[in-house]
Amino acid sequence: MDLSQQILSRRHAQDQGLNGPESDLCDVNQRQRARPRADSSESHAASLSRIIESQIIPRLMLAHRAAQNASPLPAIDIHAPGPDAIAEFADIVVSSNVSAAAEYVEVQRANGMSLESVYIDLLSPTARHLGYLWENDLCDFTEVTAGLWRLQQLLHELSPAFQGDGAGAQLSGLSRPKLARRALLLPAPGDQHTFGLFMVSEFFRRADWDVWGELPASIEQLISTVREERFDMVGFSVGSVLKLEELKFAIHAVRLESRNKNITVMVGGPIFVAHPEYVDLVGADMTAAHGRDAVIFAEELVARIVVSS
């Protein structure tokens, strides 16, 4: 069965209700909980060992090698906002306009917060906090959508300064010849969340990556894009565990059809921070907690592939 037939078959299965959230990846934890109590501790230890061996250790090695070869990264910003400031800023983006949010950011920057810290320590946690408010019925869908839209508008306004602040050279300052690198960043199939994706793309652009600007609207468009264009990396942003099954299929299709047969696949989102074992389950190479680490890991892995090929 070729890939186009697989796509049609999957869609038929979904229409018949055969590929719901209880299938494959989405019921991993349910199957673990269903095991007898007697072997739960042994099973947990074995699972933890596999995660450490296959996920944690390789990422520590990547981070260590990147840190050795790169210029020193900025220290943790002592002006990073705490939970109360995040809640305050979330209230501003929900109830006010973009100008009010921009004024708040300018006050923080005047008080010593770096622009990178604004991205990592203020805007990203605020987006997650908006999700928390929605999940707990503390804000309705319209309010959260408006808040996320204002955050994205704020990113657009800050982008020129962020791209020109010079820190991108530190992220891509590995001691090797500069290579043209190209990335395709997109939400997981069926996922509508793009704020985190836009933020990650800001870090890659600042590190001189060519980030593809057109988001494929379907799995067929994704396949067509990776067939016709050469990418060093494809990155998927995932907002829900219910999207993992479709993501696994999309990653398989990318590897099968990609013009670059050594393509690197990165996945991101809180799901993978909480469950790093899902990286292997969906067939990806790596994940990262935020845009700065995503660039470091991608630079290192792509460079290793170039050297070995």
Q: What is the DSSP string of 75-118?
A: PPPTT---HHHHHHHHHHHHHS-HHHHHHHHHHHHHTT--HHHI
Quick one: tokens of 255? 């590897």
How far lies 76's CA from each of 120, 217, 265, in Å? 11, 38, 28
What's the pLDDT score for residue 289? 86
Which of 118, 112, 51, 165 is CA-nearest to residue 291?
Answer: 118
The Cα–Cα gap between 27 and 36 comes to 17
Per the structure block, which two tokens stand in for 241?
């565990």
Distance CA 168, CA 164 (A): 8
Q: What is the pLDDT of residue 141?
A: 85
φ, ψ dihedrals at 64, nearest 5°: -65, -45
Neighbours of 61 (CB within 10 A): 11
According to the model, what pLDDT value does residue 134 have? 85
- Residue 96 burial by Cβ neighbours in a 10 Å radius (0-12, 13-18, 19+): middle
Phi-psi domain of 228 (left: phi exceeds 0; alpha: psi -120 through 50; beta: other): alpha
Contact (CB, 8 A) for 306 and 179: yes
Give the pLDDT of the chain (309 residues) as one tens digit per residue: 666 556 656 655 555 554 443 344 545 444 434 434 334 445 544 454 444 444 444 444 444 444 444 444 444 455 678 889 999 999 999 988 899 999 999 999 999 999 999 999 999 899 889 888 888 888 888 888 899 889 989 998 999 898 886 555 455 444 444 567 999 999 988 877 778 888 899 999 999 999 998 888 889 999 999 999 999 999 999 887 888 999 999 999 999 999 999 999 999 988 898 899 999 999 999 999 888 899 999 998 888 876 665
pLDDT at position 175: 43
Distance CA 52, CA 64 (A): 16
pTM for the complete prediction?
Answer: 0.69
